[in-house]
Structure 1
């Protein structure tokens, strides 16, 4: 698959929201307290227009196959957010490529640490995060509103 990573555009909102919600259904996480019910999931372009924020879209052979974003959390700590891929694009190193792209953006925008929230149901993603150097935290950082996630991780940039 020929992969391109680019910045989100307004026309990406619907397809990305669909990819995110399909992935959460697939992993039995279509529940309150996750991005499944988060209203910003339908408006990612608008959400990531804030300073020091960005959402990156992965295209495979001209089709949107996933994305990931960086948003501010507290001070010089950012959050890796809404990192989801379509089923056909998984297992090819795309998740790692997207995460590294996001971490590069974070570092060049003055962040010193990157936080994320996930769940055991997303075990393959958790393995990628750990492989890249994210370490487990004993509890959540900040108030993201995603109480349905019960695994928290951080990496120094």
Structure 2
């Protein structure tokens, strides 16, 4: 088994990363509306992140995408805050430190882009993700920031960079 590689998304990755994200959300029985599942950007992730101060990374192993995550300016929010976006991993990536490594990539990129804070939204029952976010220094906050359209994600977290 090859070591997973974390790299910037390429156009050819679009179908695979869309399938990864939908598969993970289905495995969690997450709502299909008000979550990343319904995002129009899901099928054109490469194009979505071709803008200033935005980056999306994929995890590739044996020519297969097994996860991904990105950062971009928080939608509909005044302030120098970015969002950790679409961080999902297939089961074969779990328990191998891939999430922590991806988190390092995303935080470094957010810092490089000059953001002051990084925000995320998640589900209460995504326990592994929540543990990873806490270890990275994210703290729970009371209400949503900006307007991501993910109204089915009740947990909001923030970290100062």
- Both proteins in one fold, TM over 0.5: yes
Structure 2 residue runs without a partner (length 5+): none
Report if aligned partners of 1:48, 1:54 keep a CA contact under 8 Å in 2: yes
| CA deviation vs aligned residue, 1:104-143 (integer Å, no higher than 9, x gap) | 0000110111000001121110011011110001010001
Pairing 1:138–2:156 present: no
Map 1:73-84; keep pairs closer than 5 Å.
73=74, 74=77, 75-84=79-88
TM-score with structure 2 length normalisation? 0.94
Write out the 4+ residue segments of structure 1 that deviate beyond 3 Å after TM superposition: none
The count of corresponding residues between Structure 1 and Structure 2 is 157
RMSD: 1.0
2:18 alignment counterpart: 17
Map 1:59-78; keep pairs closer than 5 Å.
59-73=60-74, 74=77, 75-78=79-82
Report if aligned partners of 1:21, 1:30 keep a CA contact under 8 Å in 2: no
2:153 alignment counterpart: 149
**Rounded Cα–Cα distance in structure 2 between residues aligned with 1:11 and 1:61:** 15
Structure 1 residue runs without a partner (length 5+): none
**Rounded Cα–Cα distance in structure 2 between residues aligned with 1:23 and 1:40:** 17
**Rounded Cα–Cα distance in structure 2 between residues aligned with 1:28 and 1:63:** 24
